[in-house]
Amino acid sequence: MTEHHYIDVKNLVKNFGTGNIAVNAVDQVSFYVDKGEFIGIMGASGSGKTTVLNILATIDTMSDGQVFYDGVDISSLNEAELSDFRRENLGFVFQDYNLLDTLSIEENIMLPMALSGEKKGEMESRIRNISETLHIGDVLRKFPYEVSGGQKQRAACARALVNKPKLILADEPTGALDSKSSTMLLHTLQVMNRELGATVLMVTHDVFSACYCERILFLCDGKICAELNRGNRDKRDYLNRILDIQSQIGGENIYAE
């Protein structure tokens, strides 16, 4: 048997609508992700990048094709198995935080662990460590509406990380942040990837964010139209290369804001 990648996406198709007005949001997309990679998916609005992420996140279903995690075809899992799979393997960072306003920052971060039945002492020490790393230790007792956007996003990152997921899925994570908070968040994702061993897959249209990825897939009209490896390029060279590809494929040249 051939050795498999951590994630293998094969001929992925997602249709919206039916009959003559069916739209292929994702059209025969195939790619792989290896354990420990920090990979980006870039593309203009409507290119299909968030749809791909949602299918990998098991939030959305595919119309055709296969997605394998560690050799397991996720389309073969039932709802209960999918729920277990999500809880045990995936961490999510979304643009709009998805924090619960009725819970404190600490309780929000604790939620995934509470659902997994972790012991209280373990939860508290893990939250303490992660909140110090992300510079939100001083706001744990506050509620989401009492803290800044950057603090909310870092709390969402802490919640995504607290269960030590194998894969972090980030959808435009810097979209609602100023450049200082964006830089801190991207650095956090990098630390999670390099020091905590998490595989990170980030969807973005933002060149500044994409520079943190070691490998970038470019989507155009539901198909992969280019791929770029950072290799030994310095940041400026890498950024210019991303911009070159974007201009060739008609992407949006949008910087950090």
Radius of gyration of the chain (CA): 18
> How do strand 38-42 and strand 215-220 relate by DSSP bridges?
parallel
Average of per-residue pLDDT values in the chain? 85
Give the per-residue pLDDT at 169: 92
Tell me which of 116 and 152 has the higher pLDDT. 152
The conformational region for residue 66 under phi > 0 = left, psi -120 to 50 = alpha, else beta, is beta
The conformational region for residue 187 under phi > 0 = left, psi -120 to 50 = alpha, else beta, is alpha
Of 211, 214, 97, which is closest to residue 160 (Cα–Cα)? 97
User: Helices 105-115 and 120-133: crossing angle, nearest 10°?
Assistant: 130
- In Å, how far from its chain's centre is CA 88? 16
Q: What is the pLDDT of residues 19-78, one digit of tens each?
A: 667 677 888 999 999 999 999 999 877 788 888 999 998 888 888 999 999 888 998 889
Q: What are phi and psi of 64, to 5 degrees?
A: -160, 165
Per-residue confidence at 10, pLDDT binned at 50, 70, 90? very high
Instruction: Kindly report the pTM of this predicted structure.
Output: 0.84
The least confident of 85-89, 235-239, 247-251 is: 247-251
Please give the average per-residue pLDDT across 74-88, as a whole number: 87
Give the per-residue pLDDT at 16: 81
The domains of the chain, with CATH numbers, are 7-249 (3.40.50.300)
Tell me which of 238 and 117 has the higher pLDDT. 238
Does residue 124 have a pLDDT over 60? yes
**Most distant CA atoms of the chain, gap in Å:** 58
Beta-carbon count within 10 A of 244 CB: 12
β-strand partners of 242: none
Does residue 87 have a pLDDT over 60? yes
Q: Which residues contact 68 (CB under 8 A, 6 or more apart)?
A: 4, 7, 8, 9, 10, 74
- In Å, how far from its chain's centre is CA 105? 21
Q: What are phi and psi of 219, to 5 degrees?
A: -105, 135
Beta-carbon count within 10 A of 55 CB: 25
Please give the average per-residue pLDDT across 77-98, as a whole number: 83
Range picked from 44-58, 87-101, 133-147 for highest mean pLDDT: 133-147
Give the per-residue pLDDT at 18: 67
Q: What is the pLDDT of residues 16-27, one digit of tens each?
A: 876 667 677 888
Q: Which residues contact 102 (CB under 8 A, 6 or more apart)?
A: 143
Q: What is the pLDDT of residues 147-205, one digit of tens each?
A: 988 888 888 888 888 888 889 999 888 877 778 878 888 888 888 888 778 899 999 98
Give the per-residue pLDDT at 147: 93
Give the per-residue pLDDT at 253: 43
DSSP 3-state of 32: strand
